[in-house]
Amino acid sequence: MNTTKPIHTAELRAVQTMARDGITEMFLGGMLLVFSWLYSLETPIAVFGALFPLVLNPLGKLLKSKFVYPRIGYAKVAKQPHAFRGILSAAIVFVIAIVAALGVFTLIFGFDRGYGLWLSYFIPAVAGLLMAIGPWIVARTYKLARWYVIAVLFVLCGICLPLFDIATGYRAVFLESAIVGGFSLVYGLGLFVTFLRKYPKEGAVHVSH
């Protein structure tokens, strides 16, 4: 199923230019690390992790206005609703597959063993695939190769962590979130520092697309 559509070349270049700062990668990494830490506590406070993106949005706008726009200008691009629909559709398919797989596992191995195998090995792998959908669509839509790397990391962690008995079940999901989050945060920080050095504030030219 094709979940992306071609976007205008000028718009594509504007997005790629605005993505050089690494702020999105930093925020993705920070969000994944916070989610991993909160949900690993296995306490009711973990539900507040869902509010974390609400804090990141205004912070991101502040960082953009202070460090990015004065250096390379401001570009407003059209939203890509088809990308969101693609992510939502894929997520629904995966949820259905997860429930169906539980039935298959319990039917073949019995409830106790089937549930154990499903939780220990199937859930981490599917969680990795599910979390890889967003980065993969971003990479395809805006031609940002580094987001392919993030997507592949999700998939590899989801498969390899339980396969090599490093972690299974929900712990594997927490750990894969922490691994990918740490990578994304460090990579984003590197992009941000490089961006600040490459585009000094004094030479800023404001353009709007």
Please give the pLDDT value at position 98: 84
Taking the C-alpha atoms of residue 26 and residue 188, their distance in angstroms, rounded to an integer, is 5
The lowest-confidence range among 29-43, 136-150, 164-178 is: 29-43
**Residue 41 — very low, low, confident or very high, per pLDDT cuts 50/70/90?**
confident
Please give the pLDDT value at position 90: 73
pTM over 0.85: no
Structure-block tokens of residue 168: 């299974």
CB atoms within 10 A of CB 145: 7
| Terminal alpha carbon distance of the chain | 31
Q: Are 191 and 24 spatial neighbours (Cβ–Cβ below 8 Å)?
A: no
